[in-house]
Amino acid sequence: MSDPRLQSLHLEGQPRREQFRAARQALHAACGSHTMAGDLRLLGPDDRLDASTLAAPPGGFAAAAAGRFLFYLKDGSNVFPLHLGLNSVGRLPDNDVVIRDECVSRRHCAILVHSDLRCELHDVASKNGTLLNGKKIPGPTRLQSGDQIVLCNRRLTFHVSDAPEPAAAG
């Protein structure tokens, strides 16, 4: 599985690069085939999923369930929508959530939204760590609506809400 948002070429020094690669491997393992099937961007040209792993075909339960909920981060008045699969957070412009703050790592953390709608926060070997509700996360940590994520001096709030009902054509 190859995701261009999780390359380690931007890191200087072998120890940091190895920490990042270990964090990336743990993140990919946490995705699982069901979440990968829901986020086809995670699949590289050599990755194969057999039919038994496709838990969320278009129009399936997971797709329908994911459509009933909105996942997002709030940073003051900024709202960052999250999607099924891997959501990278950091200061590089190709992250899903871009935080413009020099204290935030280029690839700081990631939020996984699984096909069964569980959500996890992963620190991706950031220099300053990731705090969840005031405590540094030691590894992948489950998220719940209302949780506070702190990246240096930036406070983000994780939210899950019901998606608005589509307007009936009349």
Q: What percent of the chain has a predicted confidence (pLDDT) above 70? A: 64
Q: How far apart are CA 146 and CA 71, in angstroms?
A: 11
Does the pLDDT of residue 159 top 60, yes or no? yes
pLDDT digits (tens, 9 = 90+) for 74-119: 998 999 999 988 999 999 999 999 999 999 999 899 999 988 889 9
Q: Ranked by mean pLDDT, which of 32-41, 54-63, 98-107 comes out on top?
A: 98-107
Does the pLDDT of residue 46 top 50, yes or no? no
> Does residue 80 come out as left (phi exceeding 0), alpha (psi in the -120 to 50 range) or beta?
beta
